[in-house]
Amino acid sequence: MINTELITVGKIVAPHGVRGDVRIVPLTDFPDRFYDLKTVLVEDVGQLKIEAVRQHKKFILIKFAERDSVSAAQLLRGKLLKIKREDVVKLPEGQYYIFDIIGLNVFTEEGTLLGSITDVLQPGSNDVYVVEQHDKKELLIPAIKEVVKKIDIEGKQMIVKLQEEME
């Protein structure tokens, strides 16, 4: 089965110049990906062909083949840019995208269901998984090897070894 899930990689924030270019805020850890894209799915518009890409300060500038004026670019303001799931940058083994982690069911090594991951915090040295338990209380689990024993994206589960102070 082909996964047709779409992943957001950027947001159009404004037109740029008079030729129809748009200014993009990258919403990806891999902004260089835009240089390799031939087309992109634009929210509520559909697939657009990319004619040119360049960087300008903290923004990515994209010229779409179908947009040749400021007014045409203005219609894209606020739209999200998406790619197909199968087009994401491949990560090294043991690294995961946040969108893959959110929604995983979290179990102890003994098989007790703790809840599901609703958010991933990035406070500094390591990520922290926010697990919503059945009683709606949140459990914070550090994303370190001593605690997270197994992540199974396809099986939609994570196995953890709770530390005494967490239980």
Give the start-to-end residue ranges of the domains of the chain.
6-87, 98-166
**pLDDT class of 164 with cuts at 50, 70, 90:** low
pLDDT at 121 over 80: yes
Give CA–CA dist 50/38, Å, rounded.
Answer: 5
**pLDDT class of 151 with cuts at 50, 70, 90:** very high
What does the pLDDT average to over 51-78? 93
SS3 101: helix
pTM (predicted TM-score): 0.71
Give CA–CA dist 155/17, Å, rounded.
Answer: 47
The architecture of the domain spanning 98-166 is Roll (2.30)
User: What superfamily would CATH give domain 6-87?
Assistant: RimM (2.40.30.60)
User: What number of other Cβ atoms are within 10 A of residue 1's Cβ?
Assistant: 3
Beta-carbon contacts of 140 under 8 Å, excluding residues fewer than 6 positions away, are 121, 128, 129, 130, 131, 166
What does the pLDDT average to over 38-61? 94
